[in-house]
């Protein structure tokens, strides 16, 4: 990429040093497995630079003007093709809308689909930042417990029944059925069918966060809830943050044609000319050359190795002192300490010993839950750093205990 | 930019032809002055391609990973410098947050700052798509009339008093004081001070849409309301859609440190790692080489010519048959037909004659208002096309009328 920049002379200094570029905060001496970020060396920097240039060659000013509200056609067409390969059912283009990532999509759907005072159901545990997005809206969040096979559909049914007896309007369930954040668990096949059936019968809309679908390490990812449901029952949020690059702020929504139309026709998308026009075209361009598929293969290999290295290190260092779930995809391993231990209380000691994590309580709405658990992200660090981080964790945990139960979700 | 793409062979075909890329819909034979879009030939395609490549050279994977919630440091630092040149006061970096354009910023502020049932005040007339964004939130919109000197502050005061007597919570006023959409008018200097004083005294928050500041054609743009107000009274929405390229979906918010902190700390920005990370860095990179400033100069020259050509054509073709305001910046000329004429009713005839516009009623909340008015955008078309469009409009209007009053806002 030298030639393009050489004409403009040496790169000038921009910005004040005190202003950060990225979200990640490096802390010297700490291997911080709290960050659910991709490994920087796994981001296709050169390829995306070329994609940006090629987008402008191909579309000229159309790549920089106001975009089509539903997202640029080439992206939508390719999403349909890609889902044909990585999911059980492919959508038609009228059911797909470009998003600026799953955060934006969830925020926007909360705006469009909820009324003040509505109940939104979330899993316990669930992605803590999705909770923060929903809490910025005038809805009440109600947790539904999950176990290591994913959401408890029986508990969901009880919860919905109870809420309806209280004359509450249950607007939707936000769920991460595939390679869950934080647990790494995937909803068991039978439960997927039960959940979809419940949603259809009881008319509880599901918003399925499908951010990790592409990152499957033990064969194909399970079919999405969206692919199993009849039209209108499930809205799926798909993202390129994990399969490509979070900084592009791109993703997509699959829904039924009516909901897709409502999103496309929203003030936000109509007035802005789409939501992430140029970077969506970059994704489409990167995909058109086959680079997206090759990049996902590379990510799967790298993250499979990191997961395996982390799991092996846990076995070697923490056997008898903690338990954990085996994730078949995604970024995370969910670790449970013996009864009586508190992952939040241990954190300062862990950091003093040079490793960090997110305490399990982060992922629960209700105080006192998830105390014994913690989330380790294997995505950002190299294998040798993962081993070292677990070794450091091992130092602060006491000896083996007979009281160790299975991993608690 | 050949070298980068030549390695990958001929450009493959992507996308289905039926799926659009852009928002603009070309209609053969019609010069459509309804579109408030930049002229495609005025978008700095080559320069932004180089900026994308240079961003990746400079920051590597940090440009593609999760960004800092408030927006990348180099963008924030440069926004402060730029506002020092094009506004009366420059913010400090803690008072600036990156946005994904003014649509996203307005949507997000409506989420963060309003409670269900709140009143949001808007000008009459106002930007119709801002209204659609606000209508997606559970607030009630109340119009406040403007005239050719901008918002009537006396009417605002009466309206707020009346609403408070009804025990309504007035949450904020959305206003476009500089190079208004649709009227092109700028709020008179005295009224700016009155408005700010009213906002401070009565504690009515102002959200100032400042999208057109850079496009000033008769000297410097007036000082922003934000620059005139004490901290906390005004939130200003700045955009790169008009001064650079809408498809990048980038802009910024200036507020006081507390509100800026609230936005930065929202679930949406925290979880997504900022809102428009890569394209914000592209803007900062484009600015660092001085290209942004040169581009704005180019735009001012081009749009000044287009405005002047349109105004001259209006004088030549419609003198005595319509009146209009003289805009000192922005994209639009607001035209008023004689009493009894209806711009909506005339539209089919105008289009049959090969020109189009947006009827004035589009920009009012209340039925029956703005009937005699229409908005012409001089931004998208070349001078000769503007002349031809006005000539075609002239054909469908009757002869000169004695009943012609001043331009009605």
Q: Mean of the pLDDT values across residues B86-107?
A: 97
Q: Mean of the pLDDT values across residues A361-380?
A: 97
* Runs of H (alpha helix) within A22-92: 45-59, 73-86
Tokens of B365: 């909340």
Cross-strand partners of A206: A173, A234
pLDDT, tens digit, for every residue of A64-115? 999 999 999 999 999 999 999 999 999 999 999 999 999 999 999 999 999 9
Checking DSSP bridges between strand B119-124 and strand B205-209, what pairing results, if any?
Answer: unpaired
Confidence of residue A2 (pLDDT cuts 50, 70, 90): very low
Cross-strand partners of B200: none
Distance CA(A200)–CA(B193), nearest Å, equals 57
Tokens of B167: 């025990």
Q: Mean of the pLDDT values across residues B361-372?
A: 97
Return all residues near B50 (Cβ < 8 A) that are at least 6 apart: A4, A5, A8, B1
Do the chains contact at B57 and A100, CB–CB below 8 Å? no
Distance CA(A191)–CA(B273), nearest Å, equals 33
Instruction: List Cα–Cα distances, B282 to A115, A158, B50, B265, in angstroms.
Output: 37, 50, 9, 24
Do the chains contact at A247 and B66, CB–CB below 8 Å? yes
| C-beta of residue A386 within 8 angstroms of C-beta of residue A378 | yes
Do the chains contact at B54 and A112, CB–CB below 8 Å? no
The answer to whether residue B18 scores a pLDDT higher than 70 is no
Q: Report the chain B residue with the minimal C-alpha distance to residue A16.
A: B77
Do the chains contact at A67 and B271, CB–CB below 8 Å? no
SS3 B184: coil
The answer to whether residue B409 scores a pLDDT higher than 90 is no
pLDDT, tens digit, for every residue of B266-304? 999 999 989 999 999 999 999 999 999 999 999 999 999
Mean pLDDT of all residues in chain A?
A: 94
Q: Nearest by CB to B74, which of A8, A15, A276?
A: A15
Tally of CB atoms within 10 A around A219: 8
Q: Nearest by CB to B21, which of A12, A72, A276?
A: A72
Tokens of B6: 């030549």
pLDDT, tens digit, for every residue of B237-268? 999 999 999 999 999 999 999 999 999 999 99
Q: Which of A135, A113, A116 is nearest to B117 (CA)?
A: A116
Number of alpha carbons in the 13 Å side-chain half-sphere of residue A169: 9
Write the burial class of residue A31 (CB in 10 Å: 0-12 exposed, 13-18 middle, 19+ buried). Answer: buried
Q: Nearest by CB to B53, which of A4, A246, A266?
A: A4
A77-A79-A82-A88 Cα dihedral, nearest 10 degrees: -110
Least confident of A6-20, A57-71, A345-359, B42-56: A6-20
DSSP A319: B
B322-B328-B329-B335 Cα dihedral, nearest 10 degrees: -10
Cross-strand partners of B172: B120, B205
Query: Which residues in chain B are contacts of A365 at CB distance < 8 A?
Result: none
- pLDDT at site B106: 98
* Runs of H (alpha helix) within A207-288: 225-228, 257-264, 267-272, 277-288
Cross-strand partners of A359: A374
CB-based burial, A384-394: b 16+ in 10 Å, e otherwise: ebbbbbbbbbb
Axis crossing angle, helix A291-318 with helix A277-288, rounded to the nearest 10: 90
Share of chain B above pLDDT 90, in %: 92
CA distance B316 to chain A (A): 32
Distance CA(A264)–CA(A97), nearest Å, equals 7
The answer to whether residue B54 scores a pLDDT higher than 70 is yes
Q: Report the chain B residue with the minimal C-alpha distance to residue A380.
A: B65
Q: Nearest by CB to B49, which of A53, A103, A111?
A: A53
SS3 A376: strand
- pLDDT at site A18: 63
Do the chains contact at B21 and A137, CB–CB below 8 Å? no
| C-beta of residue A150 within 8 angstroms of C-beta of residue A126 | no
Query: Which residues in chain A are contacts of B247 at CB distance < 8 A?
Result: 63-67, 273, 277-278
pLDDT, tens digit, for every residue of A109-158? 999 999 999 999 999 999 999 999 999 999 999 999 999 999 999 999 99
Instruction: List Cα–Cα distances, A1 to A291, B7, B290, in angstroms.
Output: 18, 12, 21
Q: Nearest by CB to A279, which of B3, B21, B279?
A: B279
Query: Which residues in chain B are contacts of A112 at CB distance < 8 A?
Result: 136
Q: Nearest by CB to B65, which of A247, A276, A285?
A: A247
SS3 B141: strand
Share of chain A above pLDDT 70, in %: 95
| C-beta of residue A238 within 8 angstroms of C-beta of residue A71 | no
Confidence of residue B5 (pLDDT cuts 50, 70, 90): very low
| C-beta of residue B183 within 8 angstroms of C-beta of residue B145 | no
DSSP B3-41: HHHHTT-SPPP-S-TTS-SBS----TT-EETT-----GG
CA distance B11 to chain A (A): 8
Mean pLDDT of all residues in chain B?
A: 94
Share of chain A above pLDDT 90, in %: 92
Query: What are the φ/ψ torsions at residue B334 (nearest 5 degrees)?
Result: -100, 120
pLDDT, tens digit, for every residue of B137-196? 999 999 999 999 999 999 999 999 999 999 999 999 999 999 999 999 999 999 999 999
Q: Report the chain B residue with the minimal C-alpha distance to residue A289.
A: B12
Confidence of residue A401 (pLDDT cuts 50, 70, 90): confident
| C-beta of residue B206 within 8 angstroms of C-beta of residue B239 | no
Tokens of B125: 């007339």
| C-beta of residue A103 within 8 angstroms of C-beta of residue A76 | no
- pLDDT at site A398: 77
The answer to whether residue A307 scores a pLDDT higher than 50 is yes
Cross-strand partners of A374: A335, A359
Query: Which residues in chain B are contacts of A67 at CB distance < 8 A?
Result: 21-23, 247
The answer to whether residue A268 scores a pLDDT higher than 70 is yes
- Give residue for tokens 């012609």: B404
Do the chains contact at B100 and A100, CB–CB below 8 Å? yes
Do the chains contact at B14 and A136, CB–CB below 8 Å? no
Do the chains contact at A43 and B61, CB–CB below 8 Å? yes
């Amino acid at each position: 990429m030298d030639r393009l920049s050489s004409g403009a002379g040496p790169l000038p200094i921009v910005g004040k040093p005190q202003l950060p570029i990225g979200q990640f905060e490096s802390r010297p001496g700490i291997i911080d497995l709290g960050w659910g970020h991709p490994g920087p060396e796994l981001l296709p920097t050169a390829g995306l630079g070329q994609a940006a240039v090629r987008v402008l060659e191909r579309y000229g000013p159309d790549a920089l003007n106001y975009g089509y509200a539903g997202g640029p056609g080439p992206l939508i067409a390719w999403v349909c093709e890609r889902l044909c390969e990585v999911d059980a059912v492919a959508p038609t283009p009228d059911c797909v809308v470009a998003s600026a990532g799953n955060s934006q999509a969830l925020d926007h759907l909360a705006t469009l689909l909820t009324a003040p005072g509505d109940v939104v159901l979330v899993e316990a545990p669930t992605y803590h930042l999705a909770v923060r997005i929903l809490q910025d809206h005038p809805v009440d969040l109600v947790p539904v417990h999950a176990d290591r096979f994913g959401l408890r559909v029986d508990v969901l049914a009880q919860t919905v029944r109870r809420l309806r007896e209280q004359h509450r309007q249950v607007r939707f369930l936000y769920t991460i059925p595939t390679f869950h954040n934080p647990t790494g668990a995937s909803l068991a096949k039978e439960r997927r069918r039960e959940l979809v059936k419940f949603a259809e019968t009881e008319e509880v809309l599901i918003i399925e966060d499908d951010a990790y679908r592409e990152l499957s390490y033990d064969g194909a990812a399970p079919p999405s809830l969206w692919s199993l449901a009849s039209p209108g029952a499930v809205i799926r949020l798909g993202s390129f943050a994990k399969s490509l690059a979070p900084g592009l702020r791109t993703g997509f929504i699959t829904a039924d044609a009516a909901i897709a139309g409502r999103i496309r026709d929203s003030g936000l998308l109509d007035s802005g000319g789409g939501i992430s026009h140029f970077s969506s075209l970059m994704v489409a361009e990167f995909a058109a050359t086959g680079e997206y598929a090759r990049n996902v293969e590379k990510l799967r290999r790298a993250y499979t190795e990191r997961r395996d290295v982390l799991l092996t290190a846990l076995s070697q260092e923490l056997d008898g002192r903690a338990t954990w779930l085996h994730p078949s995809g995604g970024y995370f391993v969910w670790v449970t300490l013996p009864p009586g231990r508190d992952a939040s209380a241990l954190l300062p000691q862990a950091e003093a010993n040079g490793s960090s994590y997110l305490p399990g309580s982060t992922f629960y709405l209700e105080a006192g839950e998830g105390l014994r658990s913690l989330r380790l992200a294997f995505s950002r660090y190299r294998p040798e750093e993962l081993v070292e981080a677990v070794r450091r964790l091992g130092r602060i945990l006491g000896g083996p205990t007979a009281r160790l139960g299975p991993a608690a979700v």
